[in-house]
Amino acid sequence: MYSFNNDYSEGAHPRILETMIHTNLEQNNGYSMDSHTAHAIALIKKEIGREDADIHCIVGGTQTNALVIDAALRPHQAVICACTGHINVHETGAIEATGHKVIAMESPDGKVTTEMIQKALDWHSDEHMVQPKMVYISNTTEIGTQYSKAELETLSQYCRQHGLYLFMDGARLAAALTSPINDLTAADIARLTDVFYFGGTKNGALFGEALVILHPDLKSDFRFLIKQHGAMLAKGWLLGIQFETLFTDGLYYELGSHANAMAAILKKGIEDLGYTFTSDSHSNQLFPIFPDHVIDELAKDFLFSANGRIDETHSSVRLVTSWATKESAVHEFLQKLGALTV
Amino acid sequence: MYSFNNDYSEGAHPRILETMIHTNLEQNNGYSMDSHTAHAIALIKKEIGREDADIHCIVGGTQTNALVIDAALRPHQAVICACTGHINVHETGAIEATGHKVIAMESPDGKVTTEMIQKALDWHSDEHMVQPKMVYISNTTEIGTQYSKAELETLSQYCRQHGLYLFMDGARLAAALTSPINDLTAADIARLTDVFYFGGTKNGALFGEALVILHPDLKSDFRFLIKQHGAMLAKGWLLGIQFETLFTDGLYYELGSHANAMAAILKKGIEDLGYTFTSDSHSNQLFPIFPDHVIDELAKDFLFSANGRIDETHSSVRLVTSWATKESAVHEFLQKLGALTV
Amino acid sequence: MYSFNNDYSEGAHPRILETMIHTNLEQNNGYSMDSHTAHAIALIKKEIGREDADIHCIVGGTQTNALVIDAALRPHQAVICACTGHINVHETGAIEATGHKVIAMESPDGKVTTEMIQKALDWHSDEHMVQPKMVYISNTTEIGTQYSKAELETLSQYCRQHGLYLFMDGARLAAALTSPINDLTAADIARLTDVFYFGGTKNGALFGEALVILHPDLKSDFRFLIKQHGAMLAKGWLLGIQFETLFTDGLYYELGSHANAMAAILKKGIEDLGYTFTSDSHSNQLFPIFPDHVIDELAKDFLFSANGRIDETHSSVRLVTSWATKESAVHEFLQKLGALTV
Amino acid sequence: MYSFNNDYSEGAHPRILETMIHTNLEQNNGYSMDSHTAHAIALIKKEIGREDADIHCIVGGTQTNALVIDAALRPHQAVICACTGHINVHETGAIEATGHKVIAMESPDGKVTTEMIQKALDWHSDEHMVQPKMVYISNTTEIGTQYSKAELETLSQYCRQHGLYLFMDGARLAAALTSPINDLTAADIARLTDVFYFGGTKNGALFGEALVILHPDLKSDFRFLIKQHGAMLAKGWLLGIQFETLFTDGLYYELGSHANAMAAILKKGIEDLGYTFTSDSHSNQLFPIFPDHVIDELAKDFLFSANGRIDETHSSVRLVTSWATKESAVHEFLQKLGALTV
């Protein structure tokens, strides 16, 4: 049984593990006040060309999203996102638990547009309604799509004109930045958003998201919020070690590239067999439509998740590749799919 | 300038004011532990035929909604409502401020159906998502529609089968119960819901909603929640006095009937002039569509609120009648509308 | 049975009721956007000599306290108060319900000093602890004591030097400002605090607290917070009417004076009989110590609350006078006490 | 520079690291639904002799505390603890952020007694105050003291009689259970508390606390709460691996014993030099009192934290040993201290 279920099914990239082994008996200051974290932060600042950024390494994505939104918004303020946004559907109301409404807008491709934001602003006109103050986007999105530079420029400009913070969830930022259709750099993202993160969990770390805060208003007292959210890791250098490894010699991008390359092979193979997809993805998540009996057969050898019923006899599934995906497994999948396809 | 802007533009029905005057220098126990409140509660219990109900008089509707939902739900649980639901759009995120997600379902007529609830349940399948635990409905709805007995029976049965609390916002329950198309009694509502309220603010009280808790699980420690929400009125007998007056000699229904009767005249007059409505209301809120220039002219003599653009030259408005609406004002409105209609 | 149980046992001062009667059928804009509220605000601005103040009329005290603190603090920030502070003991955790810690400091006389604040600041030194950001004081305090001008000047200066907001709960501000030992004016309080309120509930209104926001940082979007807290009264002019009456012809002070005068007679009489008090009050709350058997006898004719056991045979009680207290009742109390005193 | 600053200055015990290395490229189900976690849970159930326990592995202590308290309490309920309790002082208001008041009672030795709880219950008598519903204790406490079996029996019986949940924070449970004065077993703790945890972070794990829920009322939907708190680790088997290693061949106790043994040497040496301690600890945290100049000198070679000023020339410090503390470092410390002591 081989798993294409997600991009966090294996441990860490061996280089990360090695650094952890070598440093295991070092005595380090706790709570991310250690030299590894300082080094990781320096590397990330260099990567984005922004010495003024505040950078914090956090254990997980849901935690990071709740933290950022809680820190940024006053009690009556709300965050706009696509209806498919992770904060809207897959975080068990973590944002609402901090007191804030998620304004979820219909979106065919998982992306947010200025039209959607304008609509949300139009609907929220006075003090009887929440006040939209932040826009949350994911790159890549939850359905594998991604933002072009032009799209992000437009969003950014719009948000700045309307006093909205722009927050990019980068849980799969490595996949986005190394996608063949990408034209954004990390520096662009730092320039165009107010806060974003480099996801580690889904790109070869044991865990960890490197949060980059650009907007001065969002920086203040952030460590208090981290602690209050139970997100301040005692042995914080474990996060530092992982990000200093990922941002040394381009490992972060190398791992994202591998995941995308595996997905590209998978995608071409599936297309060649005549199947279509529910989402136009050029990254490490694919959403092919298969006949139900084909899915049943594939499920005997491969782990993946159901995504939705298409018609009486067809469904879509989600296939995810990662830094650890073996090319041989991809070929085995395609071979089996070929055999099942008449 | 005459106002059809809402049903809370005047003070209290004279009988309420009189009782307040006569009792003004009585010394009463604070915090609703007084004899007027006890009397009001007894009258309401009799009205619904339920000695087992717990009844609390609360100052306002948003307060009552937040209170009930906060008391009923555990942190990970959510409330389902129509997208037009008051808790979803007009309470500045008061529900989310208590930590709970509002799952708003598309609804063409402002009502919730079992199909909508089923869809919401289907979408929320595991611990990565909030857990729906309550269904919120308004009667009449925010767009003037209302539930039939058959509809409420169906909803109630479905909710009980699925372990969902059914909560009816009765801010305009007087209008619902006295509508010509109504076939529900207060006793039916007590039998079919788990918690509901008789709205006073929009039916001749200075303020006040009489909350009726039927489901035993929702009763426990409720006064703690009232206090914590800042909803425990020091001079609580003011609420008691109002509800004992409203539930004496049928005043509650008399006032609702008047509001509906005024709306019926308005509705017939508007229809006779050839106009249509965005919502099929038989209660005290009407949503006619007029040409923009007609609206501009009407607005010179009457206060009402815009409701939405229909096309380039037409918009809908909201006209609300109340216990205090003068029939002469209704006729003046129709006369002016007639004059503006070619 | 006559009640000295609290200062909110009767309805409203007759002048307030009269205004409510005269204006009852006026059509007013809802949600405090009416002319009575505008007038009340103008009168209060004049009273404090501060055209720049933002003033909001809110229904109750617990509500106002939660609202102000929630609006002022970021999630990791806390409010310092005396351990006897209303927000610490008598609001069912309403402040914590908005997410904020109440840092309660031991205080012998119910007042906060700069030494206490300094201690609280010393204890909260880094991001592993909450960050004190506001100081809450009550005037008069919950045990009838009050701040002198010199004390308030000192507190104010200290708070400004340390970046702390100073918030005065004025539920019993009328009693404070009309106490024989008072040397503060309303204008002084506006100058020395960042936010405070004129309590109406405990000084002759049916309900209502007039909140005065002086510090610019606390003004922004305040109406959103009012609405979210369920504190925006639909018929908001009822609050306006009450405060415009109270701030016309000095009624606010007249009522406070009466309450204090009644307490002074009571105090002198009790002292003359040889009893002592647990608290040095010159306002409308007295805390005499009586033998238990005397208390039992008094309780047959008078309502008051127990306050604490002193020794095996003595307890303290709380006696409260108000704008409505009858002088004859005071004399009856003293007469009975005299008869019980050997 | 050698650190006695805390018990989480090094990485993981080598056996844990080895297991992580060997399993690194295994594909595991995410979110703690993996076989390592299942194994760890089985081992812990066996350890406490309770097949009915619900066990969840969580990343950190503050997170676990907030999670448990949030899951257990209704909005108006509060948790009682010693004033030194971690939840009261060192979690940046994480408990209050979930809406609950922490009722902190004075405690000379960091422990909670039934007298303290009774006092807290006496103070909270009605719905104007929060309702105490849980008692939080730490074992060992934040100042190194610990509960005897008799003490825990008494507390447990009292809590059950009064309907209070008893929650033991076991961040340093290994130190408690292996202390020379301990007479409690893990099974005793499972029998006497409603919920507790085996701390991993401070006992040789990279991170992790194994939460054991005994009381049926606290079990329901717990994974929803974990997710909502951002505490559901994607690669959850990392927690499973650590606890299955710790609970194999008694490693958990072996590591606690080492920490305590190192502290015992340190304690005896310090006592022999004539110094005293602020707290009577028989576990891995010591609080000696030294002259300030001695502290300054020690600080040149050793890292430790200041704990409080004793008098003009003396302060107390906190020395912490761990599973990783080298005996040689302990002797070096004592040697230097000896040299500084005349």
Contacts of A318 (CB under 8 A, 6+ apart): A285, A286, A287, A304, A305, A306, A307
For D15, counting Cβ atoms within 10 Å of its Cβ (0-12 exposed, 13-18 middle, 19+ buried), the class is middle
User: Given this model, what pLDDT does residue D241 score?
Assistant: 98
Q: Given a cut of 90, is residue A228 above it in pLDDT?
A: yes
Q: Quote the pTM value.
A: 0.97
Instruction: Dig out the tokens for D55 from the structure.
Output: 């066990």
Give the integer Cα–Cα distance in Å for C48 and C252. 13
Between chains, do B228 and D70 touch, taking CB under 8 Å as contact? no
Nearest to A221 among C31, C98, C131 (CB): C131
Sort out which chain D residues have CB atoms less than 8 A from C99's CB and list them: 93, 96-99
- C-chain residue closest to D97, CA distance: C99
Token duo for residue B9: 């533009």
- Cβ-Cβ contacts under 8 Å between C and D: the total is 54
pLDDT-based confidence at A102, cuts 50/70/90?
A: very high
Among residues B65, B91, B85, which one has the least CA distance to residue C227? B91
The CA distance from D49 to the nearest CA of chain B, in Å, is 28
| Residue B283: band (very low, low, confident or very high) from pLDDT cuts 50, 70, 90 | very high
pLDDT tens for each residue of A264-292: 999 999 999 999 999 999 999 999 999 99
User: Is residue B142 within 8 Å of residue B86, measured between CB atoms?
Assistant: yes
Backbone angles phi, psi at D21, to 5 degrees: -65, -45
Amino acid at residue number D28: N
For the cut 90, the answer to whether the pLDDT of residue D335 exceeds it is: yes
What is the C-alpha separation between B260 and D323, in angstroms, rounded?
77
Chain A hits for D9, CB-CB cut-off 8 Å, are: 27-30
Query: Alpha-carbon torsion D135, D139, D144, D145, what sign?
Result: positive
Q: In what order do the strands lie in the sheet with B102-105?
A: B54-58, B209-213, B195-199, B165-169, B131-138, B77-82, B102-105
d(CA B186, CA A139): 52
Residue among D166, D203, D200, D225 at smallest CA distance from D40: D200
Residue of A nearest to B100 (CA): A96
What's the pLDDT score for residue C302? Answer: 98
In chain A, residues with a C-beta closer than 8 Å to the C-beta of D60 are 230, 232-234
Burial B306-333 (b: 16+ CB within 10 A, else e): ebeeeeeeebbbbbbbbbbbeeebbeeb
At what angle are helices B327-340 and B251-272 packed, to 10 degrees? Answer: 10
**Confidence class of residue A342 from pLDDT cuts 50, 70 and 90?**
confident
CB pairs < 8 Å spanning A and C: 47
Q: CA-CA distance, B317 to C124, in Å (whole number)?
A: 55
D239 chain-A contacts, CB cut-off 8 A: none
Contacts of C195 (CB under 8 A, 6+ apart): C68, C72, C165, C166, C167, C168, C211, C212, C213, C214, C215, C218
Which residue does chain C place closest to D74, by CA atoms? C97
Three-state DSSP state, C301: coil
Alpha-carbon gap, residue A93 to B154, rounded angstroms = 29
Question: Measured between beta carbons, which residues in chain A are less than 8 angstroms from residue C74?
Answer: 71, 221
Q: Please enumerate residues of D whose Cβ is less than 8 A from a Cβ of B.
A: 31, 70-71, 74-76, 98-99, 127-128, 130-131, 221, 223-228, 232
Three-state DSSP class for residue B50: coil
Measured between beta carbons, the chain A residues lying within 8 angstroms of C31 are 128
**How many angstroms away from the CA of A41 is the closest CA of chain B?**
31
Collapsing DSSP to helix, strand or coil, B72 comes out as helix
User: Do residues C71 and C225 lie in contact, with contact meaning Cβ atoms separated by under 8 Å?
Assistant: yes
From B231's Cα to the closest Cα of chain D, the distance in A is 12
Chain centre to alpha carbon of residue B301:
28
pLDDT class of B9 with cuts at 50, 70, 90: very high
Q: Write down the mean pLDDT value for chain A.
A: 98
- Whether residues B224 and D71 touch (CB distance < 8 A) is answered with no
Of C11, C207, C224, the CB nearest to B23: C11
CA angle C87/C89/C94 to nearest 5° reads 50
User: Above pLDDT 90, what percent of chain B?
Assistant: 99
pLDDT surpasses 90 at D262:
yes
What local confidence, expressed as pLDDT, does residue D15 receive? 98
The answer to whether the CB atoms of A227 and D62 lie below 8 A apart is yes
Interface residue ranges in chain A relative to chain C, Cβ cutoff 8 Å: 31, 70-71, 74-76, 98-99, 127-128, 130-131, 221, 223-228, 232
* Residue of B87, B101, B126 for testing the chain A interface, max A β-carbons within 10 Å: B101
On chain B, the residues whose CB falls within 8 A of the CB of A102 are 101
CA dist C140 and C282 (Å) reads: 9
Closest by Cα among B281, B286, B226, B230 to B57: B226
Helix, strand or coil for residue C109? coil
Report residue B266: phi and psi, to 5°: -60, -45
Contact A100 B96 (CB under 8 A): yes
| pLDDT for the residue D62 | 97
Residue showing tokens 């960091």? D110
- B215-261 confidence digits (pLDDT tens): 999 999 999 999 999 999 999 999 999 999 999 999 999 999 999 99
Helix (H/G/I), strand (E/B), else coil: A132? strand
Report the candidate in C31, C104, C95 with the shortest Cα–Cα distance to residue C68: C95
| Segment A286-310, tens digit of pLDDT | 999 999 999 999 999 999 999 999 9
CA distance B42 to B55: 9
Percent residues over pLDDT 70 in chain C: 100
Q: What residue type is assigned to position B271 of the chain?
A: E
Query: What is d(CA A70, CA D55) in angstroms, rounded to the nearest whole number?
Result: 29
| B124 pLDDT more than 90 | yes
Residue of D127, D145, D79, D181 lying closest to D286 (CA atoms): D145
Cα–Cα distance for residue pair A143/C70, rounded to 1 Å: 37
* The predicted structure's pLDDT at residue B342: 80
Q: Convert chain D into a string of H (helix), E (strand) and C (coil).
A: CEECCCCCCCCCCHHHHHHHHHCCCCCCCCCCCCHHHHHHHHHHHHHHCCCCCEEEEECCHHHHHHHHHHHHCCCCEEEEEECCCHHHHCCCCHHHHCCCCEEEECCCCCCCCHHHHHHHHHHCCCCCCCEEEEEEEECCCCCCCCCCHHHHHHHHHHHHHCCCEEEEECCCHHHHHCCCCCCCCHHHHHHHCCEEEEECHHHCCCCCEEEEECCHHHCCCHHHHHHHCCCCCCCCHHHHHHHHHHCCCCHHHHHHHHHHHHHHHHHHHHHHCCCCECCCCCCCEECEEEEHHHHHHHCCCEECEEEEECCCCEEEEEEECCCCCCHHHHHHHHHHHHHHCC
Q: How far from D315 is each of C173, D275, D318, CA to CA, in Å?
A: 45, 12, 10
pLDDT for C342: 81
How open is the CA angle A9-A10-A16, to the nearest 5 degrees? 140
Interchain pair A62, D230: CB under 8 A: yes
Provide the 10 A C-beta neighbour count for residue B254.
16
What pLDDT is attached to residue B222?
98
* Lookup: tokens for A88: 């809207």
ipTM for this prediction: 0.97
Provide the pairing of β-strand C54-58 with C209-213. antiparallel
Of D64, D97, D230, the CB nearest to A60: D230
**Binding-site residues on chain A for chain B (CB distance < 8 A):** 75-76, 78, 89-93, 96-102, 123, 127-130
Q: Mark out the alpha helices in A173-250 (DSSP H runs).
A: 173-177, 186-192, 222-228, 237-246
Inter-residue contact B231 to C230 (CB < 8 Å): yes
Closest CA to C305 of C161, C172, C187, C143: C143
C89/D127 touch (CB, cutoff 8 Å), yes or no: no
For residue range D85-95, list pLDDT tens digits in order. Answer: 999 999 999 99
**Chain B contact partners (≥3 CB pairs within 8 A):** A, C, D
CA distances D205 to A239, D47, D86, D116, D245, Å, are: 15, 18, 20, 34, 9
Q: For the purposes of burial, counting CB atoms within 10 Å of the CB of C84, is it exposed (0-12), middle (13-18) or buried (19 or more)?
A: buried
For residue B188, with 0-12 CB atoms within 10 Å meaning exposed, 13-18 middle and 19 or more buried, which class applies?
A: middle
Q: Do A27 and D14 touch (CB under 8 A)?
A: no
Provide the residue-wise pLDDT of chain C in tens; the chain has 342 residues. Answer: 999 999 999 999 999 999 999 999 999 999 999 999 999 999 999 999 999 999 999 999 999 999 999 999 999 999 999 999 999 999 999 999 999 999 999 999 999 999 999 999 999 999 999 999 999 999 999 999 999 999 999 999 999 999 999 999 999 999 999 999 999 999 999 999 999 999 999 999 999 999 999 999 999 999 999 999 999 999 999 999 999 999 999 999 999 999 999 999 999 999 999 999 999 999 999 999 999 999 999 999 999 999 999 999 999 999 999 999 999 999 999 999 999 998
Residues on chain D touching A62 (C-beta within 8 angstroms): 227, 230, 232
CA distance B207 to chain D (A): 23
Task: Give the model's confidence band at D78: pLDDT under 50 very low, under 70 low, under 90 confident, else very high.
Answer: very high
| Separation of alpha carbons A253 and A173, rounded Å | 10
Helix or strand holding residue C254 (H, E): helix C251-272
Q: Which helix (H) or strand (E) holds A195?
A: strand A195-199
